Chain A
Amino acid sequence: DIVMTQGALPNPVPSGESASITCQSSKSLLHSNGKTYLNWYLQRPGQSPQLLIYWMSTRASGVSDRFSGSGSGTDFTLKISSVEAEDVGVYYCQQFLEYPRTFGGGTKLELK
């Protein structure tokens, strides 16, 4: 199975500052078709997860442009510029290159 490992944030993050969440995969998620099979989700407190980013760097519909995804085949970053109260929650990365689909353990963002 592909293992997804997420880094922690130096919480709490001051409002208006930027935050970067890291995710590392145990195998390259870069397919021969040129696409990277990585998604990012946010789960706000008491809510279902929601898709933020797919194909490593494409924002989902309705997602603020304060969110951006980048990376290589095995190392990925979700950047949140100018953190706001609505960004509080747990962020998950997920690979969908292979079965079983696997998620990172989550990174909690708290606001100062």
Chain B
Amino acid sequence: EVKLQQSGDELVRPGASVKMSCKASGYTFTDYAMHWVKQSPGQGLEWIGTIIPLIDTTSYNQKFKGKATLTADKSSNTAYMELSRLTSEDSAVYYCARSPHYSAWGQGASVTVSS
């Protein structure tokens, strides 16, 4: 069974950074791309970017360039997303989702930016 286990919810200060993880199991990690999606409170879905773990290639939504950094650790089958210089606009639930077609999703990780 394909499973994506995300790290826990975070409460962070404005201006800080946060790094979240998405641990994959049930398949060969390097066979599929991993996507990251943002869902602001009460809002829809927004694509942040995609990483291809096999070749460490990333694609970003221009809106999130400089905000999000995607990495992957093949040894632990884990994808990471770091968000920097956090503001209240970054308070949201973040999902990882696997290719193809976002066919498997993590449970989501909530980030709350507050002083």
Instruction: With A48-B95, A49-B95, A54-B100 as known contacts, state yes or no: A100 contacts B47, CB within 8 Å.
Output: yes
Task: Please count how many residues in chain B sit with their CB below 8 Å of the partner chain's CB atoms.
Answer: 21
Q: Find chain B residues with CB under 8 A from A96 CB.
A: 101
Instruction: With A99-B59, A100-B61, A100-B62 as known contacts, state yes or no: A49 contacts B101, CB within 8 Å.
Output: no
Contacts between the two chains (Cβ within 8 Å), count: 50
**Assembly CA distance A99 to B61 (angstroms):** 7
Q: Are B101 and A60 in contact (CB under 8 A)?
A: yes
Q: Are A48 and B105 in contact (CB under 8 A)?
A: yes
Q: Are A60 and B103 in contact (CB under 8 A)?
A: yes
Q: What is the distance, in angstroms, from B68's C-beta to the closest C-beta of chain A?
A: 12
- Of chain A, the residue at the smallest CB distance from B47 is A101
B27 at the interface (CB under 8 A from A): no
Interchain CB contact (< 8 A) of B108 among A48, A51, A102: A48
**Assembly CA distance A39 to B99 (angstroms):** 12
A103 at the interface (CB under 8 A from B): yes
Contact with A along B86-114 (1 / 0, CB 8 A): 00000000010100111101111000000
Q: Are A103 and B101 in contact (CB under 8 A)?
A: no
- Of chain A, the residue at the smallest CB distance from B4 is A48
Q: Find chain B residues with CB under 8 A from A105 CB.
A: 44
Sorted nearest first, the 9 A-B pairs with minimum C-beta distance are A101-B47, A48-B105, A54-B101, A100-B61, A103-B45, A106-B44, A51-B103, A105-B44, A39-B101
Name 9 A/B residue pairs within 8 A (Cβ), A-sorted.
Answer: A39-B101, A41-B102, A48-B105, A49-B97, A50-B105, A100-B47, A101-B61, A103-B46, A103-B47
